[in-house]
Structure 1
Amino acid sequence: MAGPGWGLPRLDGFILTERLGSGTYATVYKAYAKKDTREVVAIKCVAKKSLNKASVENLLTEIEILKGIRHPHIVQLKDFQWDNDNIYLIMEFCAGGDLSRFIHTRRILPEKVARVFMQQLASALQFLHERNISHLDLKPQNILLSSLERPHLKLADFGFAQHMSPWDEKHVLRGSPLYMAPEMVCRRQYDARVDLWSVGVILYEALFGQPPFASRSFSELEEKIRSNRLIELPLRPQLSLDCRDLLQRLLERDPSRRISFQDFFAHPWVDLEHMPSGESLAQAVRRLMEIGKGGLIADPPIPQTALVVEAVKKDQEGDAAAALSLYCKALDFFVPALHYEVDAKRKEAIKAKVGQYVSRAEELKAIVSSSNQALLRQGTTVQELLREMARDKPRLLAALEVASAAMAKEEETGKERDALDLYQHSLGELLLLLAAEAPGRRRELLHTEVQNLMARAEYLKEQIKIKESHWEAESLDKEGLSESVRSSCTLQ
């Protein structure tokens, strides 16, 4: 039975309604199942006459890989069919379009949004990596969004994907030049690490609005990629130190020096362990119910319960700073769990526990605050000495001015985030200067200053975490359950 409109393929069981896009050898259509469910799907239609030997192999590999995959951030292959003219891949439909369009309509993405997306992409890549699968064509156009209201990333288009162990090497040119790793563009042997370079380019484009090697021609692009010049990150927008560190380690031209998959998944900015998803938080929610006020009353401890046990221990020993830090780390697990628990009784129990942790953290914060004021005074003294010794170092003086501005901002009520941003910006500069500073008294003072500023930054992070946890708990008291779950999944 023909689909509505002219030129649309026919496929039993489905009504094809519109063309969504086309690629090298396939066209994708939106369609409805004729069953009672009227399920919306995307149908990838491949004309048999357009296939050469290489594209047949790619298509068979794509089907083989996708039919065995079920992951929340990978587009699902529901079925595949064929007739005399075409092969049809019936895929999960993603109403939000692709990541490229999402970025370009917003010009750039805030770091917080980019981080959520990067966690989701990393989760999909970790799943593939564990199965020795490399995508080999990572780009924003191949990353779809489940919807625009509550966007979740879905990795798509496995036409170039390969089963590759980390030690396998290839030399066939695959993928899209803008997102291709230098070793692939230069037609050298490459391995699975090319996907990590592509991730770096995608993240760069999300944060700065265009890929690092945007060019007017392929020859210009190739020249930029082949160059040995260090990739410099724009100063604006201002990003966290962890975010900049990850970008620089992903965009390392030499694959032997590029971040490894395991280090990428564990990187503090990606931090898959704390990824706010229903799946990753389910264990935390279950275990939270097993925590008594003074410790664990169940099986062997896992990381999040161990944090609480250790926090209680440090609290009892009188180590307020360590206890505060541990309570804040524990909240990284449990506060997001409030949004994902749907059982009302369990949700109330979690809220009560989070309330206890926040309350104790507030008390500990007051204790720690007085000792931090002494640290702040010590930092001021070190800064004054450094300024005297840095009159010939304008870059050092400028970084110290930013640190002073951070201290001043910290004294203002409600300006913790602004102060933290300034501390991180100052530390980014001072760490570079410390690495280049010759041994001597100035280096010793600079080292002390960096340690002081790091301590201030960590303290502010804990203050922010306590406030956010308090707000989260309060918002759940004020809102209905369905509204809170819905808003938690919405990216502003």
Structure 2
Amino acid sequence: MAGPGWGPPRLDGFILTERLGSGTYATVYKAYAKKDTREVVAIKCVAKKSLNKASVENLLTEIEILKGIRHPHIVQLKDFQWDSDNIYLIMEFCAGGDLSRFIHTRRILPEKVARVFMQQLASALQFLHERNISHLDLKPQNILLSSLEKPHLKLADFGFAQHMSPWDEKHVLRGSPLYMAPEMVCQRQYDARVDLWSVGVILYEALFGQPPFASRSFAELEEKIRSNRVIEDFFAHPWVDLEHVPSGESLARATALVVQAVKKDQDGDAAAALSLYCKALDFFVPALHYEVDAQRKEAIKAKVGQYVSRAEELKAIVSSSNQALLRQGTSARDLLREMARDKPRLLAALDVASAAMAKEEEAGGEQDALDLYQHGLGELLVLLAAEPPGRRRELLHAEVQNLMARAEYLKEQVKMRESRWAAESLDKEGLSESVRSSCTLQ
């Protein structure tokens, strides 16, 4: 076998070509299967002579973990072999390189791209954690891209991965310092949640082009990341939105919501029907991305077109009804304002609510209107709690209920607008503008 300075090693059944990268004890090569398929793979070559006891254990754990899992966002271990000099891990080939290179060649990533990547990474990580597996070396260099044209993340390099229950604690320092959680760096004692800290650092780097705690020494790094803040509930966070990750369940969930929408529509409840149609469309988007059969995809698109048309009609009905309700409440609102002349704070809060209603009338003013509603309601709820019984309290209570209903409705519309990454991905399906307009209150 040729030495490391003389080109790639030889392996039965494969032709090893260019070197893709190298680490402490492994070198990765691009390779072709000699079979008729000429399948392209990546082969990780580990020199036996470079292995100590700990690295042997790491390698065996990596093989054992990857052999037992299949996930669209985790790099696949196809096979492994060995000879007198090396151990070979035959992996899925990812033509897009790693996330570190992807970020640095673009300087920073747009938020909508970072969000899709985070959703994919969260999907892989949740899959691992459900099986009590922690990666423990999450960093952009260990996240590969399937291609540059349509990149999908593939979590790779499980050399430091461990079987860990959520309550397990470890003390062995693992991973790369820039991406290590505080408890690992500062206390040398940690559990499975350290992966989530690394995800946060990766997200920061994607959005800003560099890690948040770049340091010249380990001591400087330790000082920078000391913090007592609790990590948020990452998997349930609406920005990650794992609920709408494309899967085999997306179409069934969309269909179930449509059934409810049709029922509400038949019952004459236009607002509820519109809300359900829009929630269904949120699942039809990933269903279209998940579907690979062209005929079935066209059938889904045809159905979506029908639901979009009905949503447009319902939106007009609901918008008209809401404006009528606002007009009906004008006299009560004027009376409340008259009765609040001796309450400057109440008058100011009512002014904020009026500003919210005016902003709601403007095209594209939903988010500004919602912010004003929430600010006004915060004040009005405090004032309502202190208001003694009487006619003014009754009017104030009715006004608060009315404003809360408006705010909740707008919040739903804004949430749909903020899911623009999904709607934009439908541009290629020719439905983006219809979906966006149907699910946004004008």
Q: Indicate the TM-score class for this superposition, using the shorter chain for normalisation.
A: 0.7 to 0.9
Cα distance change of structure 1 residues 92 and 428 upon mapping to structure 2, 3 Å threshold: farther
Other structure's SS at 1:5 match: helix
Cα distance change of structure 1 residues 189 and 391 upon mapping to structure 2, 3 Å threshold: farther
Kept in 1, the 8 Å contact 2:94–2:146? The answer is yes
Kept in 1, the 8 Å contact 2:74–2:154? The answer is yes
1:362 and 2:312 equivalent?
yes
Kept in 2, the 8 Å contact 1:150–1:489? The answer is no
Cα distance change of structure 1 residues 266 and 433 upon mapping to structure 2, 3 Å threshold: farther
Cα distance change of structure 1 residues 264 and 431 upon mapping to structure 2, 3 Å threshold: farther
Return the alpha-carbon distance in structure 1 between the equivalents of residues 68 and 290 of structure 2: 27
Cα distance change of structure 1 residues 54 and 137 upon mapping to structure 2, 3 Å threshold: same
TM-score by length of 2: 0.76
Deviation of 1:318 (Å): 3.1
Cα distance change of structure 1 residues 482 and 325 upon mapping to structure 2, 3 Å threshold: closer
Cα distance change of structure 1 residues 69 and 470 upon mapping to structure 2, 3 Å threshold: closer
Deviation of 1:336 (Å): 3.6
Deviation of 1:384 (Å): 13
Return the alpha-carbon distance in structure 2 between the equivalents of residues 89 and 488 of structure 1: 50
TM-score by length of 1: 0.69
TM-superposition CA deviations, 1:382-440 (whole Å, max 9, x none): 99999999999999999999999987776555676898899999999999999999999
Deviation of 1:60 (Å): 0.7
TM-superposition CA deviations, 1:122-163 (whole Å, max 9, x none): 221122122211111111111100000000000000000011
Cα RMSD for the two superposed structures? 6.3
Cα distance change of structure 1 residues 7 and 490 upon mapping to structure 2, 3 Å threshold: farther
Kept in 2, the 8 Å contact 1:355–1:470? The answer is no
- The 5 A counterparts of 1:373-388 are 373=323
Return the alpha-carbon distance in structure 2 between the equivalents of residues 440 and 189 of structure 1: 60
Deviation of 1:52 (Å): 1.0
TM-superposition CA deviations, 1:224-248 (whole Å, max 9, x none): 11245899xxxxxxxxxxxxxxxxx
Cα distance change of structure 1 residues 106 and 472 upon mapping to structure 2, 3 Å threshold: closer
Deviation of 1:26 (Å): 1.2
Q: Of residues 231, 244, 250 in structure 2, which corresponds to 1:274?
A: 244
Deviation of 1:108 (Å): 2.4
Identity %: 93
Return the alpha-carbon distance in structure 2 between the equivalents of residues 101 and 41 of structure 1: 20
1:491 and 2:441 equivalent?
yes
TM-superposition CA deviations, 1:164-204 (whole Å, max 9, x none): 11121111111111111111112343111111221122222
Cα distance change of structure 1 residues 104 and 275 upon mapping to structure 2, 3 Å threshold: same
Return the alpha-carbon distance in structure 1 between the equivalents of residues 122 and 258 of structure 2: 27
Kept in 2, the 8 Å contact 1:340–1:485? The answer is no
Cα distance change of structure 1 residues 127 and 424 upon mapping to structure 2, 3 Å threshold: farther
1:410 and 2:380 equivalent?
no
**Residue of structure 2 in register with 1:474 after alignment:** 424
Return the alpha-carbon distance in structure 2 between the equivalents of residues 279 and 162 of structure 1: 30
Deviation of 1:121 (Å): 1.1
Deviation of 1:118 (Å): 1.4
Deviation of 1:321 (Å): 1.8
Return the alpha-carbon distance in structure 2 between the equivalents of residues 67 and 370 of structure 1: 59
Return the alpha-carbon distance in structure 2 between the equivalents of residues 137 and 471 of structure 1: 29
Kept in 2, the 8 Å contact 1:9–1:16? The answer is yes
Other structure's SS at 2:31 match: strand
Return the alpha-carbon distance in structure 1 between the equivalents of residues 281 and 219 of structure 2: 51
Cα distance change of structure 1 residues 466 and 207 upon mapping to structure 2, 3 Å threshold: closer
Return the alpha-carbon distance in structure 2 between the equivalents of residues 437 and 28 of structure 1: 72
Kept in 2, the 8 Å contact 1:77–1:89? The answer is yes
TM-superposition CA deviations, 1:67-109 (whole Å, max 9, x none): 1121111101111111222111111111111112212222222
Return the alpha-carbon distance in structure 2 between the equivalents of residues 395 and 177 of structure 1: 52
Q: Which moved more, 1:390-399 or 1:443-452?
A: 390-399
1:128 and 2:133 equivalent?
no
TM-superposition CA deviations, 1:38-57 (whole Å, max 9, x none): 22111111111111111111
**Residue of structure 1 in register with 2:234 after alignment:** 264
Return the alpha-carbon distance in structure 1 between the equivalents of residues 143 and 397 of structure 2: 43
Return the alpha-carbon distance in structure 1 between the equivalents of residues 302 and 385 of structure 2: 47
Other structure's SS at 1:190 match: coil
Deviation of 1:33 (Å): 1.9
Q: Which moved more, 1:191-200 or 1:432-441?
A: 432-441
TM-superposition CA deviations, 1:229-287 (whole Å, max 9, x none): 899xxxxxxxxxxxxxxxxxxxxxxxxxxxxxx95333322222311356755886xxx
Cα distance change of structure 1 residues 468 and 141 upon mapping to structure 2, 3 Å threshold: closer
Return the alpha-carbon distance in structure 2 between the equivalents of residues 448 and 228 of structure 1: 43
Deviation of 1:58 (Å): 0.4
Return the alpha-carbon distance in structure 2 between the equivalents of residues 491 and 374 of structure 1: 15
**Residue of structure 2 in register with 1:113 after alignment:** 113
Cα distance change of structure 1 residues 113 and 277 upon mapping to structure 2, 3 Å threshold: farther
Greater radius of gyration (CA): 2
Kept in 2, the 8 Å contact 1:351–1:473? The answer is no
Other structure's SS at 1:186 match: helix
Cα distance change of structure 1 residues 490 and 441 upon mapping to structure 2, 3 Å threshold: closer
Give 5+ residue unaligned stretches, structure 2: none
Cα distance change of structure 1 residues 460 and 489 upon mapping to structure 2, 3 Å threshold: closer
Cα distance change of structure 1 residues 407 and 132 upon mapping to structure 2, 3 Å threshold: same
Other structure's SS at 2:80 match: strand
Q: Which moved more, 1:120-129 or 1:142-151?
A: 120-129
Return the alpha-carbon distance in structure 2 between the equivalents of residues 33 and 466 of structure 1: 46
Kept in 2, the 8 Å contact 1:61–1:161? The answer is yes
Q: Which moved more, 1:388-397 or 1:33-42?
A: 388-397
Other structure's SS at 2:272 match: helix
Other structure's SS at 1:198 match: helix
Deviation of 1:476 (Å): 8.5
Return the alpha-carbon distance in structure 1 between the equivalents of residues 115 and 387 of structure 2: 33
Other structure's SS at 1:278 match: coil
Cα distance change of structure 1 residues 229 and 342 upon mapping to structure 2, 3 Å threshold: closer
Deviation of 1:28 (Å): 1.3
* Count of equivalent residues: 442
Q: Which moved more, 1:332-341 or 1:163-172?
A: 332-341
Give 5+ residue unaligned stretches, structure 1: 232-261, 285-304
Cα distance change of structure 1 residues 308 and 227 upon mapping to structure 2, 3 Å threshold: closer
